[in-house]
A and B are shown apart, each in its own frame.
Chain A
Amino acid sequence: MAVQFLSWVGNLGAKTQAALIELSRMRDLAASFLYWSLVAPFAGKRGLRRESFAHQLCFMGNQSLFIIFLVSASVGAVLALQAAYQLKQFGALLYTGALVSVSMSRELGPIVTAIVVAGRVGASITAELGTMKVSEEVDALTTMGIPPVPYLVVPRILAMLVMLPCLTVLSFAIGIFGGYLIGVVSLGIDANLYLKASFDALASKDILTGVAKSFVFALLVGIIATYSGLAVEGGAEGVGKATTRSVVASIIAIIVADGICTAVFFYVFP
């Protein structure tokens, strides 16, 4: 045991170094993404591949819409039930709607949507790019003089940047609707009063911060998913490993970034 522990401690340095190298490669990919989407089209190079971008948009929407409906409605409903349980003790049952709408838009909408998209879309991006890498398709692309970043990475991350905020706004609405169903049907709150409480409490800042978070999440999931795919080595097994790692890393990144964003919004823009 002691020896194993010591060797684990001894390997920490090497592990940290490997992680730092990977982070710096992701940063390079992010820089390359920014170059190809913002600078290159104005420097006479071929810009966005519209067909591929449109295809990715449809794919992402179709893939995640139903699950986001289901998950957001459940989260809204559960939130309403749990809030009612506490608020009843203070005779403030009417505020259930306010609590659901504010927490859906500030916190739960963005995070639930991002996690669903990371699992559904991020994983498939990693698996697809990883398979292309393993079967020499990425090499073939490079050899044809078509750099993989503008052809494969840019349409995917841009589609993610457009689609994730859209899905997040939908998730707000569905979450509030889920809370409404519980509030009106099960808790017996008047329908009009519930809606009034929901929307009175909601400031435009709540929605804006939620959408801003979803942009950050989209960039993180996009970079992690495409990087993990293009970094695959070692055949079919490598693709499987990379896909799992991509989803795990995305979820951790989403939660950490959520903490940082919330802190920034709380202290910098009170």
Chain B
Amino acid sequence: MNDVITVENLEKIFGDRKVLAGVNFTVREGETLVIMGGSGCGKSTLLRSLIGLLRPDGGKITILGKDMTSAGDDQINQIRRSFGMLFQGAALFNSLTVGENVELPLKEHTDLDPDIIRIIVKVKLELVGLTGFEDLRPYEISGGMKKRVALARAIALDPKIVFYDEPGAGLDPITASVIDHLIMDLSKKLKMTSVVVTHEMTSAFRIADRMIVLNMGRVIATGTPTEIKNSNDPYVRQFIHGEMDGPVSFQTTRDSYLKGLLGTHEQ
């Protein structure tokens, strides 16, 4: 299997905080890779760097053989046509109908006849189980349906890779599971590579072919779901079992809390 995404020594610094401190991993063709980690571990920064919304401060990202980090705006826009992205809040355009949302990438990037575009939109909506919803507005449908429309929009151009940002966030367990099955189903049917960022364990173990665990801006574990489950790394164990006690304590550090109370600001 070929690697479709390669990330080497990726670094991103905000102010004086190193959010990504040398991240390395690869994504293989056709697999579903889950990126896990607690809040503030750099998951979102990693994802935003992968899709080119953030420019990393060091390291290299290669997507489908093309270097994202040294590419100019036009080249990045070219690369972006080969992947889709499902945002956490669906990010549908509220001024457009469901159908218009799905046809937007087709209208912008292809010269297809409007009739053909209409057929493609119908097919994509059928794939996510929303036939006949074309004329509704995003605010007229439920959260789970919004995510499905956003998924239809993400796969409108038949991308090779789809990125998912917290696909189950804000949904009830049943709807979240429906979305998970949709992701697995689509990956198989359309032979897409999926990269899913999540902190929800059930969902992660359900859909992953392989997973990586991020902590403090570094990859601390890589492997199949079984390997991760049997990991001996104390942080990974704490994370997947959701325990309070472990290497990550509730407070950042007790020391700075005391200093803060006493009014000294030196670290």
Residue of A with least CB distance to B105: A144
A243 to chain B, nearest CB (A): 17
- Collect the chain A residues with CB atoms within 8 Å of residue B93's CB: 132, 137, 140
A224 to chain B, nearest CB (A): 22
Proximity bits, B75-102, A CB within 8 Å = 1, else 0 = 0011011000101110111110000000
Q: Is A146 an interface residue (CB 8 A)?
A: yes
Proximity bits, B45-77, A CB within 8 Å = 1, else 0 = 000000111000000000000000000010001
- Collect the chain B residues with CB atoms within 8 Å of residue A145's CB: 77-78, 80-81, 105, 108-109
Q: Is B221 an interface residue (CB 8 A)?
A: no
Which of A128, A132, A143, A151 sits near B51, CB closer than 8 Å?
Answer: A143
- Collect the chain A residues with CB atoms within 8 Å of residue B41's CB: none
A176 to chain B, nearest CB (A): 38
- Main secondary structure, interface of A, reads helix
- Collect the chain B residues with CB atoms within 8 Å of residue A188's CB: none
Is the pair B80, A143 in contact by a Cβ cutoff of 8 Å?
A: yes
A37 to chain B, nearest CB (A): 17
- Collect the chain A residues with CB atoms within 8 Å of residue B91's CB: 135-137, 139-140
Q: Is A62 an interface residue (CB 8 A)?
A: no
Residue of B with least CB distance to A144: B105
A52 to chain B, nearest CB (A): 10
Is the pair A139, B108 in contact by a Cβ cutoff of 8 Å?
A: no
Complex Cα distance A46/B88, Å?
29
Q: Is B7 an interface residue (CB 8 A)?
A: no
- Collect the chain B residues with CB atoms within 8 Å of residue A146's CB: 77, 104-105, 108
Complex Cα distance A194/B176, Å?
74
B110 to chain A, nearest CB (A): 11
Is the pair A147, B108 in contact by a Cβ cutoff of 8 Å?
A: no
Complex Cα distance A183/B133, Å?
60
Which of B80, B89, B94 sits near A144, CB closer than 8 Å?
Answer: B80
Q: Is A11 an interface residue (CB 8 A)?
A: no
Q: A46-B108, A145-B109, A147-B73 known; A140 and B87 CB under 8 Å?
A: yes
A-B contact pairs, 13 of them (CB 8 A): A128-B95, A132-B93, A136-B87, A136-B88, A139-B91, A140-B87, A140-B150, A142-B52, A144-B108, A145-B78, A146-B104, A147-B73, A151-B108
Closest A-B pairs by Cβ, 7 of them: A145-B80, A140-B91, A136-B91, A145-B77, A143-B85, A136-B87, A145-B81
